[in-house]
């Protein structure tokens, strides 16, 4: 494989090469008709995001939203520099081998925002007839399914030991563990994003698709769906009940049905790779050779597994016709509803939801404090003057 030692300007899960490989593995599982169906939806963003509007290249689009300075992987004249979606890329399930006291609410990692919540909500949104909704959430699915197969995107590690140091407030998925590696990655998280210094090619407008396709084919030949490394882990039609519930509507409780599947995927990555991803690592030291060999092999397996699962998801999405909005077929949207305007509207809605969640959490905390005061024999006004 051709390697370009260009480190990304923004923190991504799997660097572009890994995300592109996951999507290419998925593409190779589909028929030409299914690929054409997906591409027809994704092309709606082609004018605003050239080079990232097909099934494979759209997998890097969510990272481009974070671009704050121009570079090879951030070529747009007007950069988005949007970070409200940053927490959609990862889960923070605690890993606490040293038994440190965890911060409050660490066990609530499944809630919004998280990659798990994003995938579940996106799957439900793919039941919509809106082309914009399909386009937006397809891009997130193409990306986040890859994210959650990188083990350090499923975890928040808590440590207090000589090897990793005192990280009692979490390691940010390995970002706070400095390491030395042959490809210059500065921390453990970045080392895993590079697939152990294996896949370092970032997206560019001149991406060599033949090289990418050949590499994906080689990986799937090495790790077919029937490979023993996927035994008990890969279930080809595990999303069928989820999709049926999505199409059936709210009464079928699609959120619960779909979340169960996506939770099994994230837990599978966590259970298979997290403990070993921290074992043998010492802060500010070189990555051991035996660790590097295992990390490379496991990364390959996870990229392929992510591609197989993503392919199954896309087959379901491609089975459903997305109708254009009234009049959309014969005329362009009015100028005020450009892609930028739609993204702003989506961000505004998300902000309202987050503020509502914050208000709800504040009210719950207030009630708990008042109850605590009464339990301790204090006046509630000692804690809350408004009680």
Residue-wise pLDDT for 361-371, tens only, equals: 665 565 555 45
The strand pair at 159-161 and 165-167 is best described as antiparallel
Record the tokens describing residue 383, joined without a space. Answer: 């804690």
| Residues 211-247 pLDDT 10s | 899 999 999 999 999 999 999 999 999 999 999 999 9
How is residue 159 written in tokens?
A: 């440590």
CATH T-level topology, domain 16-327: P1 Nuclease (1.10.575)
pTM, rounded to two decimals: 0.81
Residue pair 189/173 in contact (Cβ under 8 Å)? The answer is yes
Separation between Cα atoms, residue 369 and residue 372, nearest integer Å: 5
The per-residue pLDDT for 342 is 67
Distance from the first to the final alpha carbon of the chain: 66
Q: Taking the domains of the chain in order of start, what are their residue ranges?
A: 16-327, 341-387
Residues 276, 81: Cα–Cα separation, whole Å: 34
**How many residues belong to the chain?**
387
Distances (CA, A) of 181 to 163, 264, 289, 331: 17, 32, 10, 53
pLDDT digits (tens, 9 = 90+) for 311-321: 999 999 999 88
């Amino acid at each position: 494989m051709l390697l370009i030692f260009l480190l990304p300007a923004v923190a991504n899960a799997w660097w572009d090469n890994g995300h592109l490989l996951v999507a290419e593995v998925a593409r190779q599982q589909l028929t030409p008709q299914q690929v054409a169906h997906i591409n027809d939806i994704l092309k709606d963003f082609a004018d605003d995001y050239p080079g990232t509007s097909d099934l494979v290249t759209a997998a890097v689009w969510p990272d481009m939203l974070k671009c704050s300075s121009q570079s090879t992987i951030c070529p747009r004249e007007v950069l988005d520099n949007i970070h409200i979606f940053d927490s959609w890329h990862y889960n923070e399930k605690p890993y606490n081998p040293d038994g440190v006291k965890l911060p409050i609410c660490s066990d609530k990692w499944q809630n919004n925002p998280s990659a798990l919540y994003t995938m579940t909500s996106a799957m439900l949104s793919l039941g919509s007839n809106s082309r914009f909704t399909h386009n937006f959430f397809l891009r997130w699915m193409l990306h986040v399914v890859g994210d959650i197969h990188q083990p350090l995107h499923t975890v928040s590690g808590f440590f207090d030991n000589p090897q990793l140091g005192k990280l009692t407030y979490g390691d940010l998925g390995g970002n706070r563990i400095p390491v030395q590696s042959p490809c210059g990655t500065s921390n453990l998280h970045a080392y895993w994003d590079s697939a152990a210094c294996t896949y370092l090619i970032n997206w560019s407008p001149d991406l060599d698709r033949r090289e990418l396709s050949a590499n994906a084919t080689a990986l799937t030949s090495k790790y077919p769906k029937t490979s023993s490394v996927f035994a008990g882990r890969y279930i080809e039609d595990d999303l069928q009940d989820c999709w049926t519930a999505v199409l059936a509507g709210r009464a079928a409780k699609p959120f619960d049905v779909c979340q169960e599947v996506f939770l099994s995927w994230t837990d599978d990555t966590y259970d298979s790779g997290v403990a070993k991803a921290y074992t043998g690592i010492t802060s500010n030291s070189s990555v051991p050779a035996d660790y590097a060999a295992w990390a490379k092999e496991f990364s390959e397996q996870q990229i392929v597994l992510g591609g197989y699962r993503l392919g199954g998801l896309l087959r379901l999405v491609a089975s459903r016709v997305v109708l254009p909005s009234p009049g959309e077929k014969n005329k362009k949207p009015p100028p005020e509803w450009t892609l930028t305007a739609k993204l702003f509207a989506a961000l505004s809605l998300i902000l309202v939801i987050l503020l509502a969640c914050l208000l709800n959490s504040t009210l719950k905390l207030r009630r708990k404090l008042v109850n605590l005061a009464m339990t301790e024999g204090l006046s509630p006004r000692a804690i809350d003057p408004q009680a």
